[in-house]
Amino acid sequence: MADLFSAEWMASFQNAWNAEPDLSGELAKIGFNSNIGYGFKGEDAPRGILVVENGVATSAGAYAGQPLNWDLRADAATWQGWISKPPGMMGLGMAYTSKKLQFAVGDYAAMIKDPRMAGPFMKSFSVMARV
């Protein structure tokens, strides 16, 4: 398996994202466009980026300074735990309040209150488990 959030891993995540209608399809319905960074707490920048246009991941790879709409951070053990067993809504809420999951960019509270975004956000963790 490729290193978590490496260019190779992100490319596989892009393919898995686009193959999941409950993620890409639902986000397409709301015209979701974002640059999403993924990385580790304590690092200056995310390691990987996923570019989403109208719900579809159009590119993915190593982060190279692109502007971000979202930047999700957790420690390596937490990410690996979520990949082994994707979290539910309560688990992610607890991870956010305990700072195991951090948003260096983006508003978790606003996103999670919007069911059009909350469902796909939850689904993204089960899609990560397929990579």
pLDDT of residue 111: 86
Instruction: Give the start-to-end residue ranges of the domains of the chain.
Output: 7-128
Write the DSSP assignment of 10-58 as a string of letters: HHHHHHHHHT-IIIIIHHHHTT--EEEEEEETTSSS-SEEEEEETTEEE
The residue that leads in pLDDT, 49 or 122, is 49
Q: Given pLDDT bands bounded at 50, 70 and 90, which one contains residue 88?
A: confident
Is residue 1 over pLDDT 80? no
pLDDT of residue 110: 85
pTM of the entire structure?
Answer: 0.94
Q: How many residues does the chain have?
A: 131
17 vs 14: CA distance, rounded Å = 5
pLDDT of residue 112: 84
pLDDT of residue 120: 94
pLDDT in tens, 25-76: 999 999 999 999 999 999 999 999 999 999 999 999 999 999 999 999 999 9
* Least confident residue range of 9-13, 41-45, 107-111: 107-111
pLDDT of residue 2: 64
Query: What's the CATH class of domain 7-128?
Result: alpha beta
Our separate counts of H helices and E strands in the chain read 6, 5
- Are the beta carbons of 36 and 49 closer than 8 angstroms? yes
